[in-house]
Structure 1
């Protein structure tokens, strides 16, 4: 009987020893599982991020594939998070609704930080700084300053920060799904001015050989960041960390210089 009891004690001891043979590994496994659970993704192993696909050179389609500055930034972020990049498109006017409806994990599509948007979603640290610019037809001599926009017909992108800016000058606002479409309406006279990002406007004029010109200096400066759902703070944090690391190791400047010729985070 004593031998049987002793054998039971030995077996129990061995069992306990086996359970705790590698406490650090067990702790690490639990930590990894906890971290994965915090970073919510619509598709496991992928960072799915949205954009309009109509905002050249920031995000657009070339030979059926999404390319541009935003796409390259999003791809680098995904790589640093150990995920596969999965860029997708969504109409700009419903892009926030798509994010809140969990169609994608983030918006990496040149979205400026505004108080109204910040009430609906969280933003990472900025990944570039943009400025609003007035563009008019090359022969236009009537609009030389922002004050000359009073009562004029102004074109802007739908649901953009440019729309509220334009409304401060005129009540004749026409919304477009793309900057290029708005700019193309300037030479014909359907619009008298367009307010858009200075980078996008200059690029569109060059690419489409449009007879347009910028008016005055930059109207304002906006910080552009990645938008993430408010119930996904871990993903917001990790994306911010990835952007910061890109800035610090020089990767960000390489990407920015490739697309624009300068570092868009340096004012």
Structure 2
């Protein structure tokens, strides 16, 4: 089993952890990427973290801006490889991309194959049709209802665990329809095929803001789950680059400003570190 490691315990990164932005030293520090871009696996379907600017293919969002600011700090440039969420991690593992930037939650199962640079904690929210006809106030109210969850996400796991709890209490299980991306699940609410969506808190706020006549948030909950970018195990050069850049933009306030810009609570930001 892989394990959590604070940056202070990694000798190859100790000196870099306190370094300010040094873009002129990119070739010296990150020779693999000298003269070529960092290939980033990303989904353009997950506002406010990463999505296409209206009317164009330009990527915007908090994850996009934080990642770009970190790379600029260390003198590297991004190249995006877009795909649905479920297709992203395989491209990192097979070497097609260098890192996954998709508001990915750290867990021990994923850490078997990838290392993370985490920089914030997650929150979740339950999105329902306007009026909350099922009077949902907590996870215990979901028994017997129908929802949709993206394969391999925290939401799928949390809903499967809650469904088992429902059955253990003698209630009906949650009917979970799998999806390949969250926008498909949202359409399920709009088309009244599902009763609710367990979503990332930041994304949920955006969805409701964009469609306040149709959607509302039934409840929110904080989670002790770290979120970040993921690279193949022991790809130390790219991890080092992201860590150096992200620690600096965290300390100078850039991360908080970007989160606030996209309606995400800046208090969710944490000191960037490597977790394995």
TM-score interval, smaller chain: 0.7 to 0.9
**2:45 corresponding residue in structure 1:** 54
**1:249 corresponding residue in structure 2:** 252
Offset, 1:169: 2.2
Tell me which moved more, 129-138 or 191-200.
129-138
Offset, 1:224: 0.8
TM-score by length of 1: 0.79
TM-score by length of 2: 0.76
**2:151 corresponding residue in structure 1:** 158
**2:130 corresponding residue in structure 1:** 138
Superposed CA deviations along residues 174-222 of structure 1, whole A, max 9, x for unmatched, are 1233333322322433101110101101201222445222223316342
The structure having more radius of gyration, on CA atoms, is 1
**1:70 corresponding residue in structure 2:** 63
Gaps of 5+ in 2: 1-24, 164-173, 271-276
The CA RMSD measured in Å over matched residues stands at 2.4
Q: How does 1:1-267 map to 2 (within 5 A)?
A: 35-37=29-31, 40-41=32-33, 44-62=35-53, 63-124=56-117, 126-142=118-134, 143-170=136-163, 171-218=174-221, 220-260=223-263, 262-266=265-269
- Retained in 2: the 8 A contact 1:179–1:201? no
Offset, 1:35: 4.2
- Structure 2: how far apart are the matches of 1:137 and 1:33? 52
Tell me which moved more, 44-53 or 98-107.
44-53
- Structure 2: how far apart are the matches of 1:156 and 1:123? 23
Q: 4+ residue runs of structure 1 moved beyond 6 angstroms? A: 31-34
